[in-house]
Structure 1
Amino acid sequence: MLLAVVIVAGLTAALCLLRLLLAKREIRHFTEHLRRYNDGEYAGKLAIGMPDRDLESLAIEINRHTDLIVHAQAERRRTEEELRQAVANISHDLRTPLTSIFGYIQLLDSRELSEDERSEALGVIRKRTLRLQALLYDFYELAMIDSTDYALKLGKLRLDKLLPDILIGFHDQMMEKGLTPTFQLESRAIEIQADESAVRRVVENLVFNAIKHATGSLEIGLVIRSESAVLTLSNAAPQLNGTDTELLFNRFYMADASRSGSTSGLGLSIARGLMSRMGGTLNAEMQGNKLCLICEWRLL
């Protein structure tokens, strides 16, 4: 009996020693894996070579932690690239009108000009100054929307009455651009909780974006779907086929790489920011060759 006890004790001690050695080997494996990861080497997923619930749980948490770090590093790189692009774009947008203003000021100082030439030069300076003012206002507004201190005055709003009032103001601009607008507006009362000035800004930005880029027809609709009021603006945009429509809301993305237009290109970013602040959504999708911008507010 005593011999059996000694044998069992010896086997138990041997098994414990083996398990301890295997555990130490796994710990060394974990250490080497983390070292390679910290040194910037690709280490892959951490796996264990022995059945142990505690070590398995530790490996799972290490893998989860490294995944979070990889995601954070990718996000940091994306943010840094966006910031770099933002600085470049803002510098370009501000430099263009400033260069023109400075050039015309030099022209006014350099030689005698006729009254008509002087008036024309001053007109150009005035236009470039207004563009510069608009750019600075857009940059400031976008920064404010992102601020936690930015607040809207939400109240009951009749969207079915406000929308036609906004659209009427764009009639002449649409005609000048050669756009043919068609309207399908809900006749029933549509009440939402929103900030009137923010709704005006959203709709104005969407329509102005269409006037700038669209040709041919512009379809504008306002309908009730389930518990939401949905505003859609659709126009032909075959050049955007194959483009990720989410890029349109990227504050630093412009389809026109020359950035030579009369605006900052931030209109859709500002509109989406305002919609989010009001608890609504603004999305874009391609339906065939048509670009559809879709605003949605919850009904009261």
Structure 2
Amino acid sequence: MQTYINDCLLWQDKRATGMFKSCPEDFVVEEGLDWDFKGQGEHLFLQIEKTNCNTAWVAKQLARFYKVPPRDVGYSGLKDRQAVTKQYFSIRLPGIKPGSYELPEHKEYRVIAHHLHDKKLKRGYHQYNDFTVRLRDVTGDHAVLQQRLAFICQHGCPNFFDSQRFGHNKHNLHRLSAWIKGDIEPRKRDEKGLLLSALRASVFNRQLAERVKKNSWQRVLTGDTVILDGSNSRFQIEKVDEIIRRRAVHKDIHPAGVLVGADSDFVGNSERLAILMRREHLQESYRSFRLNVRQLKWDCQGKDWLIRMRLPTGAYASGVIRQLFRLTGK
């Protein structure tokens, strides 16, 4: 099983080279949660800025601080560890009153805002993420880089799952293969979800790679399922007419690929895989082939390039950067 990441790149040649994530401050993420907080209710919302630590770890620290079960701490999305990120957490505290609670202090994260609300924060509830990414010691043709950034501004780019989904050195895919063969049996629900997510990502990237090869990742074809921009609403295209073409050009709709579930044709070749997916209640869904990159701005600062963008939930800023740069570490 493969990641197909390189096959989802628009340009294989003349990509610039840049140092990526040389320090946490080079990758800044702010979660967009445009809620009107009630100011009362049993859920304490904390907007937290964290540096070089992951979301799940912060959630455990908050559960320990407020002496609640881990299930009573909510967050919308997992944010990068090697980064500076701002995101919300909710903690269920029955009977809490305005001004009657303490705020945690920690060297690796800090509270920058707090509110009371009547609902828990659940996964996928935020609307977008804003990214500020610094590439250091950039080499390459600046004119080509500018042209490609302008292309992404106008047309978007392929919406592939990047390497984070597959684990370090594709560890999640290796574990998944062992699970399918029956060599291992993951016990924890979170790990099962992680491995099945890697499966879905691999199959999706393979579909997307075929569309990139045919230069149809951004075009709507007869028989396609399409997703409305900024929503999960979808419908199937029986015939591509001028209205559909125009909507696709204006990025109002995007062709979509399948995120496989227990009833997908893909799993028919493996009875054990089908059993695993049914047991884990994995439902088929869809993901846009095209990523609409909003508010894309860039600035050359000496040898560095600073790139800002707003992406919908589930999209990878590193995937956008990878379209433009060959990435190096420290």
Which of the five TM-score ranges fits, normalised by the shorter chain?
under 0.3
Higher CA-based Rg: 1
For normalisation by structure 1, the TM-score amounts to 0.22
More strand by share: 2
TM-score by length of 2: 0.21
More helix by share: 1
